[in-house]
Amino acid sequence: MDSSDVSLAIRRARRNNAKSLDLSRRGLKTWPVELFNLRQLESLDLSGNGLTSVDPNLTQLEALEELDLSGNKLESLPSQVVATLRSLRSLVLDGNPCVSSLSPAQLRQLARPGRVPGQTPAQVIAGYLNPATGTAPAPPRDEVVRPSPVTHFDDDDDDDAPPPPPPPQEDSSHTQGLRFAQTASPSFETGAGASKPSWLSDRGSLAATLPSRRGLGAMNQEDEASDLKNQLKEEQRRSKRLEQQVERLGERLREQSMTGSSKGSLPHFEMVEVQLGEILNQGGFSVVHKGTWHGTKVAVKKLFDPNISHELLAEFDNEVQKLEMLRHPNILMPLALHRKPPALCLIMELCEGGSYYQLLHTPHQFCSATGPISLGFQENMNILDPAATALTFLHARGIAHRDIKSHNVLLSPHLEVKLCDFGLSRLKSELMTGSMQFAGTPNYMAPEVFRNAKYTESVDVFAFGTMMWEVMANDIPFANLDPADIRERVVEGRMLEMPAVPKEMQQLIRGCWTLDYKVRPLMSEVLKQLRSMKEGSRRPKTATGARIARVD
């Protein structure tokens, strides 16, 4: 089993503050180190693995109540570790070499320890694992040795009756006679000269040594009540998980009703139909060429990995699916696809100008229709506005882009804007799922993604704020910093120094950089403020420099 699968399950348990974790049949031969950080765990299932010993760090799971280690290769009893788990009330060790000397009844007692006065279940379990500790665990229920019936002196005497009160202290002749009668009567009942057995010396010691039927019944009732409580607790957990699943499925249905399902609507093409030209862009998994498809200039995105894995194919299908759901003038339009491994290709409409990143940082690589472009505040606002419009539309349709950056904002030679690269996009209900759930570009990544914490589509708002800073400062965000350094700064809120731009723009960027995603502005609000600044910058000034109010 892939260790990443185990790590993913542990991270998910930590993120959801889960009380139970199932790592059974995962092929584990060593204990995952990150497991011991789950201090809230109450139930842990590690059955069916290849563990040969119990890691001492298990003692850090102080809340652990149920531990299943059955079907492993444990060579010694974990007595020392178990002795420190004060909350433990169930330990399953069946199928391990170390328990070959234990009887089935003892194994059942480890999994479901009986009640012993003055001892916790953990102490009872530790006593079975290490009898030398001096603890005397209660025998299993099916092996309780009951005393033989005792015939009392009075026919109407009740075994369940409490012991008689001690005789009064007055030394009267009546009480002396009574005490003599109580002492002497057994010799006449049992025969002349017979001595009274020590276990019948007085009724008080008899009641103290023989377990009454009432006491056993109370213990059984308490055990049953505890079992019922545990069953109820597990049912409540299962019910909560089912409610969450139903909620997610309901969200998926709402998203599908909103976006429609047009999967498979793109026409297929054969590679011989396309003539590939120069390379426009190259990423980690794909390369984009200029091309010609039946006389039409197009962009051809080709996955160049010769070994098309299931994961890579899923990412390709995800991008195609999201593009099929979207039709917007500021979103790059797909035209056709080729889905025959090892060649996975997507034909897109062509933006011959280049990317916003090229226009900002390498303008000599940008193909402008009018020659060199001078980017002022108003020119940048004319690009940011449609980019924000496309992102607002995306969120309204229930999709998060998750890789907003200047590289993915394409421009025509006349500076028409197209948002592209939907390889990491997800429906809102699909966030926090899959192997690429915390992927992205570090320079634009939100703090909650760096922390592997819960996030929403507001990660796009954070990234858009970083792109606005990049545009206004005309600089690459966090240039020359390693991802680890960027993570440290972003998580701590030590963002980039604000450039000399209007105060309204500075406030908007800082708003997008809000650390708490729950209070971060919506993309629709960001678009509204951008348009307000854009319109304000267009108004003519008076001789004193004040803006003239516009009359609509």
Please state, in angstroms and rounded to a whole number, the distance separating the CA atoms of residues 252 and 230: 33
Calculate the CA 314 to chain-centre distance.
22
Q: Which residues of 83-104 are buried (b: 16+ CB within 10 A; e: fewer)?
A: bebeebbbbbbbebebbeebee
Please state, in angstroms and rounded to a whole number, the distance separating the CA atoms of residues 368 and 376: 16
CA angle 78, 80, 86 (to 5 degrees): 100
Please state, in angstroms and rounded to a whole number, the distance separating the CA atoms of residues 379 and 372: 13
Provide the token pair at 480: 């020359």
**Nearest Cα to Cα of residue 74 among 94, 104, 102, 101:** 94
Task: Give me the residues paired with residue 411 across strands.
Answer: 354, 417
Element (H, E) at 218: helix 213-259
Based on its alpha-carbon atoms, the radius of gyration of the chain, rounded to whole angstroms, reads: 38
Alpha carbon separation from 372 to 356, 357, 360 (Å, rounded): 14, 15, 12
User: 218: which residues sit within 8 A by CB, 6+ positions away?
Assistant: none
**Active-site amino acid positions:** 403
Given a contact cutoff of 8 angstroms between Cβ atoms, the answer to whether 111 and 92 are in contact is: yes
How many CA atoms, within 13 angstroms, populate the side-chain half-sphere of residue 427?
Answer: 20
Three-state SS string over 310-354 comes to HHHHHHHHHHHHHHHHCCCCCECCEEEEEEECCEEEEEEECCCCE
Q: Which amino acid is at 143?
A: E
Please count the other Cβ atoms lying within 10 Å of the Cβ belonging to residue 421: 21
Please state, in angstroms and rounded to a whole number, the distance separating the CA atoms of residues 49 and 185: 68
